[in-house]
Structure formats: structure tokens, C-alpha cells
């Protein structure tokens, strides 16, 4: 070795010693030896560590193995609980032992990556120094150097030693083609699901070109002012945005679509200054009755017959319903152009025209009345009111459409979402449509109401279709719900990235969380407000992250 190299090696080694203070040493006892996937270490007295912290252990050939803290145990030399009981003079809480027992915190670390070239996946030997991982090591451990697409800021890792490390998702795994979609779940209020999804959305908005966004607002006016700046951002939040490489600015190019309410006013809480009302004329959705009747049981497919007859018979803005030519109900014929027309069709005519059982027409009309009685369904849509299906097909890159469904009746909400989904489907299937964005992000909160587990409804199918095919065609689902187990398993299964906020014990035990190990589940149950555990295919272990407050205004109630 030349003197220069020797000096450089020496200075590197000194630098490491000066910069880093060991917090403990690895331990590989006979009964719990270190393995290729995990190692253990004891912690020096007074050092503080938490689950999800990143640590680095010295390994062979001057390499380091970086891992994430999974579990910690406080070990004493008491052999059993009985030993502890005896140590207090046979169960006297007031007994004061003369000496404190020897104890140590034992840390279980899940191996993420080794710095060797090629990577050394041998178990970490015993008695090697363990340090807090540096920012560089943390990013290396999560494969920041292996990102093939665009690095999308996903939050920050807050180490217990005060280090803040920005982490990102690979766009190829969030927006396709390698994997796609993100799903956030967790207890309402504590999990900050919407805020996190909007943060990821901001990342995509600022970092990726040729993307458009459709956001469904489901809570009050939560997302009805995303173009306005958040005045409550503190300096710390601004610094975090800076650290993450994001501009601390609200969204631009936002168009709000609010549901038509009574008196042609928006049926929305605290609407933005500029918006468009949306409504549905029969001519808009005559071919989407399957979505309208999605929650109506149809065991004998009679509704299905009705839907297809209307869809197939619609011509020049109308459908003609007439009795059959056999003459059993001769002469009767009605032209239907509006919802009122359809609701007023004679039962017998409908029965004979569509060859239905006598009980079916009253049922269809009853359901139709129930489902279309809100001001959202209009006989004649004014020019200033829009049909969402049409607008969706005009969406351009860089545009954000916010569709407010917060005050829309729960039985109609799935229809609105389903209609948008089908329009997107058509947008990407129709070769005649040019200049469509290469990626379209769909933000759907309370996904469980629209695509519940076990459902076979048309709307669920629509969402499942996006989850299934979106990866290749560029329609990406940003979904959120309280309980992951409540949503359709194909949506969960096709989702590449999962973010989980605080979750209850009963929920976390369900199959939808099978990708998490027992300790990760335990840690998720103890998350604080605003903390998220993120899992993505490129990471070997879920990681806890924090993120700044939204850049846009959220109105208080």
C-alpha cells in the first residue's frame, strides 16, 4: 500500500472515529444468533433509540450493514418474573433493593443493505460497533441510488439523534410501469391520511410532467381551497419543504366542480370563489344506469335488461318506449328525453315494451325516483352547468380537477365517482382523443364507500379496473380509507405503495396487513398523530416518516 493511500485510509478511519460515536455493539448469543435478515445489539446506557430508527453496524471488509430498528427489549439478569418478585422480598413493592439489577436495552434490527460491493449478506458478527446511520447511509439503505425513475419526495425520516433525512419514492413504482397506486389507511383524525396523500400529490405535481389530477373532496371544504396559501405554516414546515426539494406553494391550475344544489346554488360547504356546478341530465348518463343502480339488488337481471334497452334505444337525445308488435298493448308509445319523462312512463307500457314481469316496472320507477330526486339530476342542464364526464375527457396535463361530493347523498356519491371513472376509462380507450396526459392521478378518499370488500357492483368493478390496469396505461389511484380490510382485496393487492397511520389492534390483525410483520404492526398501533409508516416495493422494510403541513389552506370549523 502506498503511503498516500495509507494516509488517506488512515484519515478516513480517523474521520469515522471523530464523526461517529458508537451507541452500542452487536450481540449474537447462542440462542438468538444474528442472521442474514436481522442483527441485534445492546445499547450504551443513556443512549436513546426508537423503533424505525436507522442504525449502521460495522461488518467484514470495512463495510457497514444498515438496518432499521424493529423492536427493543429491556433485559435484566432476572431469570423470570418470580426472580423479580423474590427480589422485592417476596412481593413487597416498598422493598428497596440495595443495588440496581444489571440491565441493558437489546435492539433488534432488520437488515436493509450492506455497503459492500458486491453486497455482503452474511450475518453481522458479534461485538461490532453500532452507530446511528448517517443521512447518506439511510438513503443508501432505502435504495435512493437505485431509483430508475424520478425521485418523488415522500417525507422525512426523523432519527432519534435529531437527524432529518429526506426520502423519496421511485416514480416508476408509484406511477408505473413497475408498480403503481398508493393507499393510505388509519384511524380517522390521527392518521392524517388526506394530508399525506395531498403531500404525495404535491410531490408528483411539482416533479413530474404530463400529469393531470382528479381529486374527490369528501369532507366539508377540506380540499376546496387548495389553490390558496396556508397561512399557518411554521418555519419548520417551510424548512422541511426546502429539505425535500419542494416549493412551499399551493396548487395552481385548479378547477373546482361543485354539485348543483337547491336554487341552483352549490351544494357545498364554504365553496371557493371560482367554481363550476355539475349536474346530470338523462342524456348525459342514459348509458350508465348500471352505475346509478349499482346498490340495487338485481338477482334476476331485470334491471340489467332495462338498462340495456334504454342504452341501446337512445337515439338523437331520446329513447322511444313502445309496446311490442304482437299487439298485446297496441298503440302505446312514449318518447323519453328527461328524468321526469322516464319516471312518468306507464308501468304497463314499460312492462310490455321491455317484456318485464309486472312487478318490475314499479320497482324500477321507485328506485329511479329514489336515486334521481336530488337537484343533481336535472331535466335540462343549463349551459353553465357541466357534465363531469365531458370535462374529464378535456383534462390536460398540469390541470387539477377537484370534484366536491362531500354533501352529495351517500347513495349518489358512488354514482358520481363511478361516472368519472368510466369517463376516464373511455378517455384512455378512445384512440380519437389526443393530447391526453400520460398520467392521470385519481384521488379518492373514503374508498371503502365506493369499492367495499366483497362488492361486485359496477362502480367497484370500475375502481378495480383502474387498480388492475392503471399501472400500464397511466391511471393511478391515490386511495384512502380508515380500514384497509374494508376495501376490495384486488385494490389492496394491486397497490404498490402503502402508507399506514395509527391503526387499532383489531384492524391491524386482518389479512390486508399481512405484508407487515408482528413488530411493525405493534409499532403502527403506537404511532403518534401525523406519523406514517410507508411501505413500497423497493424498500426491504416499512419505514416511519413524517411530513410537513399542507401548503394549501384548510378551513377550520
Distance CA 57, CA 41 (A): 9
**Cβ-based nearer residue to another protein, 84 or 148:** 84
Number of residues this chain uses to bind another protein (CB under 8 A): 20
**Cβ-based nearer residue to another protein, 80 or 315:** 80
Give the residue, chosen from 3, 31, 81, 96, that forms a contact with another protein under the rule CB under 8 A: 96
Give the residue, chosen from 10, 12, 73, 101, that forms a contact with another protein under the rule CB under 8 A: 101
Q: Is the four-CA dihedral 479, 483, 487, 492 of positive or negative sign? A: positive
Distance CA 493, CA 500 (A): 15
Give the residue, chosen from 37, 87, 135, 338, that forms a contact with another protein under the rule CB under 8 A: 87
**Cβ-based nearer residue to another protein, 126 or 407:** 126
Q: 487: helix, coil or strand?
A: strand
**Residue 129 DSSP symbol:** E
Please return the burial class of 479, using the count of CB atoms within 10 Å of its CB with bins 0-12, 13-18 and 19+.
buried
Q: How far is the CB of 126 from another protein (least distance, A)?
A: 12
Distance CA 52, CA 535 (A): 12
Q: Is 456 in the site for another protein (CB under 8 A)?
A: no
Give the residue, chosen from 78, 122, 144, 150, that forms a contact with another protein under the rule CB under 8 A: 78
Cell of 38: 436481522
**Cβ-based nearer residue to another protein, 45 or 61:** 45
Q: Which helix (H) or strand (E) holds 43?
A: strand 38-43
Q: Is 74 in the site for another protein (CB under 8 A)?
A: no
**Cβ-based nearer residue to another protein, 98 or 557:** 98
Q: Is 31 in the site for another protein (CB under 8 A)?
A: no
Phi, psi (5° rounding) for residue 521? -65, -45
**Are 66 and 141 within 8 A, CB to CB?**
yes
**Cβ-based nearer residue to another protein, 79 or 456:** 79
**Are 516 and 535 within 8 A, CB to CB?**
yes
**Cβ-based nearer residue to another protein, 78 or 190:** 78
Phi, psi (5° rounding) for residue 44? -65, 145
Stretch that binds another protein, among 31-39, 71-79, 439-447, 479-487 (CB under 8 A): 71-79
Stretch that binds another protein, among 89-97, 334-342, 409-417, 506-514 (CB under 8 A): 89-97
Q: How far is the CB of 42 from another protein (least distance, A)?
A: 12
Q: Which helix (H) or strand (E) holds 137?
A: helix 135-141
Give the residue, chosen from 102, 262, 326, 506, that forms a contact with another protein under the rule CB under 8 A: 102
**Cβ-based nearer residue to another protein, 84 or 380:** 84
Greatest alpha-carbon span in the chain: 108
Please return the burial class of 70, using the count of CB atoms within 10 Å of its CB with bins 0-12, 13-18 and 19+.
buried
How many C-alpha atoms does 112 have within 13 Å on its Cβ side?
28
Stretch that binds another protein, among 54-62, 73-81, 132-140, 318-326 (CB under 8 A): 73-81
Give the residue, chosen from 100, 273, 274, 384, that forms a contact with another protein under the rule CB under 8 A: 100
Q: How far is the CB of 131 from another protein (least distance, A)?
A: 22
Distance CA 203, CA 228 (A): 17
Q: Is 98 in the site for another protein (CB under 8 A)?
A: yes
Give the residue, chosen from 2, 74, 80, 94, that forms a contact with another protein under the rule CB under 8 A: 80
Q: Any idea which residue has 458478527 for its cell? A: 125
Q: How far is the CB of 102 from another protein (least distance, A)?
A: 6
H helix intervals, 185-301? 193-207, 235-243, 282-285, 289-292
Interface ranges with another protein (CB under 8 A): 77-80, 82-84, 86-90, 95-102
Amino acid at each position: 500500500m502506498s503511503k498516500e493511500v495509507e494516509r488517506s485510509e488512515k484519515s478516513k478511519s480517523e474521520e469515522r472515529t471523530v464523526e461517529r460515536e458508537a451507541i452500542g455493539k452487536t450481540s449474537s448469543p447462542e440462542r438468538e444468533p444474528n442472521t442474514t435478515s436481522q442483527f441485534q445489539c445492546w445499547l450504551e446506557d443513556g443512549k436513546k433509540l426508537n423503533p424505525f430508527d436507522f442504525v449502521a453496524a460495522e461488518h467484514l471488509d470495512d463495510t457497514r450493514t444498515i438496518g432499521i430498528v424493529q423492536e427493543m427489549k429491556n433485559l435484566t439478569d432476572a431469570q423470570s418474573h418470580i426472580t423479580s418478585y423474590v427480589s422485592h422480598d417476596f412481593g413487597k413493592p416498598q422493598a428497596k433493593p440495595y443495588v440496581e439489577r444489571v440491565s441493558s436495552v437489546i435492539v433488534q434490527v432488520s437488515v436493509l443493505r450492506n455497503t459492500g460491493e458486491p453486497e455482503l449478506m452474511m450475518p453481522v458478527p458479534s461485538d461490532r460497533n453500532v452507530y446511528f446511520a448517517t443521512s447518506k447511509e439511510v438513503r443508501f439503505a432505502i435504495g435512493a441510488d437505485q431509483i430508475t425513475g424520478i425521485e418523488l419526495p415522500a417525507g422525512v425520516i426523523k432519527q432519534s439523534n435529531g437527524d432529518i433525512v429526506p426520502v423519496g419514492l421511485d416514480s416508476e413504482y408509484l406511477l408505473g410501469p413497475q408498480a403503481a397506486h398508493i393507499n393510505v389507511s388509519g384511524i380517522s383524525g390521527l392518521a392524517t391520511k388526506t394530508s399525506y396523500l395531498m403531500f404525495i400529490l404535491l410531490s408528483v405535481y411539482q416533479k413530474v410532467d404530463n400529469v393531470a389530477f382528479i381529486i374527490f373532496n369528501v369532507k366539508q371544504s377540506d380540499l376546496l381551497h387548495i389553490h390558496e396559501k396556508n397561512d399557518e405554516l411554521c418555519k419548520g414546515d417551510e424548512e422541511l419543504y426546502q429539505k425535500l426539494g419542494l416549493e412551499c406553494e399551493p396548487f395552481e391550475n385548479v378547477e373546482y366542480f361543485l354539485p348543483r344544489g337547491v336554487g341552483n346554488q352549490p351544494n357545498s360547504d364554504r365553496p371557493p370563489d371560482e367554481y363550476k356546478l355539475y349536474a346530470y341530465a338523462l342524456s348525459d348518463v342514459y348509458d350508465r344506469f348500471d352505475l346509478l343502480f349499482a346498490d340495487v339488488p338485481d338477482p334476476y337481471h331485470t334491471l340489467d335488461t332495462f338498462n340495456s334497452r334504454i342504452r341501446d334505444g337512445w337515439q338523437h337525445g331520446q329513447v322511444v318506449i313502445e309496446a311490442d308488435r304482437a299487439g298485446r298493448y297496441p298503440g302505446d308509445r312514449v318518447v323519453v328525453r328527461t328524468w321526469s319523462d322516464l319516471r312518468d312512463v306507464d308501468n304497463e307500457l314499460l312492462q310490455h315494451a321491455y317484456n318485464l314481469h309486472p312487478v318490475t316496472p314499479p320497482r324500477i320507477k321507485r328506485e329511479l325516483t329514489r336515486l334521481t330526486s336530488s337537484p343533481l339530476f336535472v331535466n335540462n342542464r343549463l349551459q353553465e352547468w357541466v357534465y363531469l364526464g365531458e370535462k374529464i375527457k378535456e383534462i390536460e396535463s398540469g390541470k387539477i380537477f377537484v370534484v366536491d361530493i362531500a354533501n352529495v347523498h351517500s347513495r349518489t356519491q358512488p354514482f358520481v365517482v363511478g361516472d368519472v371513472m368510466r369517463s376516464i376509462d373511455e378517455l384512455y380507450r378512445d384512440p380519437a382523443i389526443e393530447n391526453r396526459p400520460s398520467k392521470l392521478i385519481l384521488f379518492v378518499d373514503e374508498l371503502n364507500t365506493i369499492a367495499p370488500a366483497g362488492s361486485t357492483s359496477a362502480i367497484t368493478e370500475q375502481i378495480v379496473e383502474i387498480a388492475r390496469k392503471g399501472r400500464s396505461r397511466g391511471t393511478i389511484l391515490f386511495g384512502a380509507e380508515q380500514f384497509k380490510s374494508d376495501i376490495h382485496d384486488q385494490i389492496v393487492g394491486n397497490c404498490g405503495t402503502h402508507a399506514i397511520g395509527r391503526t387499532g389492534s383489531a384492524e391491524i390483525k386482518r389479512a390486508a396487513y399481512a405484508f407487515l410483520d408482528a413488530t411493525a404492526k405493534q409499532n403502527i398501533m403506537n404511532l403518534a398523530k401525523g406519523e406514517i409508516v410507508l411501505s413500497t416495493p423497493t424498500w426491504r422494510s416499512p419505514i416511519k416518516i413524517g411530513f410537513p403541513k399542507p401548503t394549501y389552506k384548510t378551513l377550520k370549523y
